[in-house]
Structure 1
């Protein structure tokens, strides 16, 4: 049986409007204990903002900077019914650690490298040796 993205994703991802301030995003990340937040307008996914994206230069008020000015646009996505191996392949190909999961164009979850690898820090699936492709 093939493992699907929906079997390992976190449903109900944290999301903000594109006009949310960086201070709001940082607060949401802290409350939700997440490093990535989806940026959406209504049901449309616009991008993803990570903790690395929200660094604010000294002297700049994070309340005055909106998330749409720093979020990555045109995010790489997967569908909930895609094989988990496809998510892993896309993460490696695009050098990202998390992917938004969309169904019918609407964000429904997020899947991280740790969800696919059993939490391994080296980016390989559990039991995988260097150069192998995960059997997920």
Structure 2
């Protein structure tokens, strides 16, 4: 039987409002030990922000981040997955779009995050990527 996205995903993704200051998002990511947060505009997901987005789209372009919000730096073109779809299909989309993580949606509601690390840890536990993904962070 094919493996489903829900079997690999990390549940309860961290979400923040689109009006959240970038500095607060960075602190949230550090404290939670994660590399991405989902950006919400009310009840609708409007984007995703990664630690790399913060560096490339915010920090590299501004000397003062005090007025910079997630709305300004988030990736709005989202690749998503459903919890009941075959994991292989979702992973193929990640490869096609060259993304490392995708939100998992139940209808329009985010319920999880699927990362290449999640997939590697489960599908190829002896790989270097699985070892790196399972290791404790260096922060």
Give the TM-score of the pair, scaled to structure 1. 0.83
Deviation of 1:104 after TM superposition, in Å, equals 1.1
8 Å CA contact retained: 1:9, 1:109: yes
CA distance in 2, matches of 1:87, 1:101: 10
1:22 aligns with 2:22: yes
SS in 2 for 1:62: coil
Match 1:60 to one of 63, 66, 69? 63
1:97 aligns with 2:100: yes
Taking a change above 3 Å as real, the CA distance of residues 36 and 59 of structure 1, as seen in their structure-2 partners, is closer
Give per-residue Cα distances to partners, 1:113-132, cap 9 Å, x unaligned: 0111227xxxxx528xxxxx
SS in 1 for 2:13: coil
1:1-136 to 2 correspondences below 5 Å? 1-55=1-55, 56-57=59-60, 60-118=63-121, 125-126=123-124
Q: For structure 1, list consecutive stretches of 5 or more residues without a partner in the other structure.
A: 120-124, 128-136
Q: For structure 2, list consecutive stretches of 5 or more residues without a partner in the other structure.
A: 126-139
**Displaced runs of 4 or more, over 4 A:** none
CA RMSD after TM alignment: 1.7
Give the TM-score of the pair, scaled to structure 2. 0.82
Taking a change above 3 Å as real, the CA distance of residues 100 and 60 of structure 1, as seen in their structure-2 partners, is same
CA distance in 2, matches of 1:58, 1:52: 13
Deviation of 1:59 after TM superposition, in Å, equals 6.0
**2:135 alignment partner in structure 1:** none
Deviation of 1:48 after TM superposition, in Å, equals 0.5
